[in-house]
Amino acid sequence: MLLFRSLTIPLIALSLSSAVLADASHRADSHGPIGVMGEHMHKEGEVMFSYRYMLMEMDGNLDGTSSVSTDEILEDYRVAPENMTMEMHMLGAMYAPSDDLTLMLMVPLINNEMDHTMQMMGGMGGMGMMMPMRSEFTTETDGVGDIKVGGLYRLNQTDDSTLILNMTLSLPTGSIDEKDVTGMSMGNKVQLPYSMQLGSGTYDLKPGLTYTNSQPTYSWGAQTIATIRLDENDNDYSLGDRIMATAWYARPFADTFSWSLRGAYEYWGDVDGEDKKLNPMMKNMVPTADPDLRGGQRVDLAAGVNWIIPGSATNRLALELIKPVYQDLNGPQMETDYSLVLGWQLSL
C-alpha cells in the first residue's frame, strides 16, 4: 500500500507535468504578439512559413512633443507633408536545424504613399496683390524592401522560460533611388526624400535578446533589438541607428485563443550624411528632405489576439493594434497615428 502510494503520486505528477508541457507549445500564447518578431524558436526539423500585413498611418506633424499645423510649416517651408500610409507585406520563413538554433528569412514588399500641401505665391488678390496659392500632391513608391536573414540562438532554457540571442542581418536589397513627380518638379520624376525610399542602402546588424516565460494561466515576454548601420550607402548617407525595447503579457482563453497587452519603446537617430541625389535646395522647401529632422523616440501600447485555427495546431492567425502614447520627434516630422499587424503562420 505504501509502495503503491509512493509510486503513483510521482507518476501522476509526472504525467500531469508532461501534459502541461506538451500542451504549452500548442497554446495560442506560445507565440508572442504578432507585432514582435523573432520571439519564439522551433524544435529541430520544424519549418514555419508566415505572412504579415503591416499598416502604419501617419497623420500631421510634431516638433518635439507638440503638434505643428500645416499653416505653421508653410511659414518656413513651401511644402508640408500631411499624411503617409506605409503598407508592408512581409513573407517569412523559419527553420530549426537543431533545438538550439532557428534560422529566419524575411522578405518585405513595401508600398509608401505621402500626401502634401504646397504653397506658392501666384494668384492675384484684390488690388493686384500676389496671394499665396495652395495645391496638393501625392508621391508613391513600391517594391521589395530590405531582406533580413538571421538566427535565433537559445542561450538558456528552463521548464517555464527561454532566453534567446537574436542575430539578424538586414541586406541592402531595397531601392534608395526611388523617384516620383512632386509639386515642384515640373512633371519630372525626381529623387524622393528619405522616408519614401524602400531600403536603408546599408548592411544593418540587428542584435538583440528575447526572454519568454510561460505559466499555466498566462505568459509574458520581453525583447530588445538594436539596428546598427554598418556602413554608408551609395548615396553618401546612412539612416539613424535604432534601439527598440518591448514587453508583453498574454493570457489564453477559450482553448485556441489568447489575448495580449504590450508596451514598446523605440529611439532612432537622425540621418548621417546627406543624400547626394536629393536636390540640396529641397531641405529648405520640405522638412522631410532635411537629414537633421529624422530622429525621435516613441512609446507604443498594443493589444493583440492570437488564434490557433481549430483542427490543426499548425495554422495560426493573429492581429495586433498598436497606438502611440508618447512621441518626441526632431521636427517638423510626421507623427504616427496608429499601426496594425495581421499575420498568418503555418508550421510543418
Binding site for Cu ion (CB under 5 A): 48, 94
Q: How far is the CB of 39 from Cu ion (least distance, A)?
A: 9
When CB distances to Cu ion are compared, the closest residue is 48
Cell of 162: 527561454
Beta-strand ranges (E) seen in 125-178 are 130-144, 148-157, 161-170
> For residues 117 and 214, which CB has a smaller minimum distance to Cu ion in the complex?
214
Closest CA to 282 of 177, 191, 178, 175: 191
> For residues 46 and 270, which CB has a smaller minimum distance to Cu ion in the complex?
46
Q: How far is CA 190 from the centre of its chain?
A: 27
Contacts of 165 (CB under 8 A, 6+ apart): 152, 153, 154, 155, 207, 208, 209
Q: How far is the CB of 194 from Cu ion (least distance, A)?
A: 32
> For residues 58 and 94, which CB has a smaller minimum distance to Cu ion in the complex?
94
> For residues 239 and 305, which CB has a smaller minimum distance to Cu ion in the complex?
305
Q: How far is the CB of 27 from Cu ion (least distance, A)?
A: 14
> For residues 32 and 172, which CB has a smaller minimum distance to Cu ion in the complex?
32
Cell of 188: 519630372
- Distance, in Å, from the CA atom of 290 to the CA atom of 143, rounded to the nearest integer, reads 24
Q: How far is the CB of 166 from Cu ion (least distance, A)?
A: 13
> For residues 14 and 47, which CB has a smaller minimum distance to Cu ion in the complex?
47
Instruction: Give the bridge partners for 153, in sequence order.
Output: 101, 165
Q: How far is the CB of 165 from Cu ion (least distance, A)?
A: 16
3-state secondary structure of 218: coil
DSSP assignment of 263-313 equals EEEEEEPPPEE--TTS-TTHHHH-GGG-GGG--EEEEEEEEEEEEEPTT-S
Q: How far is the CB of 306 from Cu ion (least distance, A)?
A: 12
- Distance, in Å, from the CA atom of 291 to the CA atom of 275, rounded to the nearest integer, reads 8
